[in-house]
Amino acid sequence: MRGWLYLIRNGDLYKIGITKNFDNRMRQLNPDDVLAKLYTSNFEKLEKELHIRYKKYRIPQTEYFRLKNRHINEIKQRFSKLEYSMFIIAGIFINSLLIILLISFLLFIILSLNINDINIVIHKSLLFMERIILGLSIPSLFVHSGKFLSFFSEFKYRLLRLIVFILFALVFRITYVFLQ
């Protein structure tokens, strides 16, 4: 089970909290600023760790804290270290693979309806898929993930997605050349 861990600021108070639906929670809380957020599977555990770590700065019976700048920087640094997990990398790969498989399947079906020779269908499918994937790779740089607050993490996400698309395009090209 995955969810959001966040650090927000309201006036001079800071809230370390968790939620399953980040956008709804932010509408409810209406913070002055979202300082850090992290989508992770162990969000509950991390929240408890942070609450324990900063318990002497906590306002009793709340999730609000009177943190100093160094505490905020510590939390942001902790989030950035955890933010880019193997789960995210695997997710990018699997999502891209599913999109590519779906497009490949549809393209193969459409071509096989028009062409009776299976070898020609396979060759044309491979060539078209290479071009389609390369065409998808550029717009993938501009699609916002919504998972990252920092520019650098968002850029890494988009760049990795681009690399995955280019690698799949290369796989289709190599397969095409190999089958010739």
pLDDT at 48: 92
Supply φ then ψ for residue 38, to 5 degrees: -150, 125
pLDDT tens-place string over residues 86-144:
667 788 888 888 999 999 999 999 999 989 899 999 999 999 999 999 898 888 888 87
pLDDT tens-place string over residues 79-90:
877 766 666 778
Supply φ then ψ for residue 37, to 5 degrees: -150, 150
pLDDT tens-place string over residues 147-179:
665 677 778 888 888 998 999 999 999 998 988
pLDDT at 159: 87
Look at phi and psi of residue 84 and say left if phi exceeds 0, alpha if psi is from -120 to 50, else beta: beta
Extract the runs of DSSP E, i.e. beta strands, from 43-94.
64-65
pLDDT at 158: 85
| CB-based contact 37:6 (threshold 8 Å) | yes
Average pLDDT over residues 8-23: 94
| pLDDT tops 80 at residue 6 | yes
pLDDT at 149: 56
The neighbouring-strand residues paired with 10 are 13
pLDDT tens-place string over residues 18-43:
999 999 999 999 999 999 998 888 88
Q: Where are the domains of the chain?
A: 3-83, 86-179
The neighbouring-strand residues paired with 40 are 3
pLDDT at 144: 73
Give the span between the Cα atoms of 95 and 103, in whole angstroms: 12
Residues of the chain by 3-state class (helix, strand, coil), percent to 5: 65, 15, 20
Give the span between the Cα atoms of 15 and 63, in whole angstroms: 6
pTM for the full model?
A: 0.58
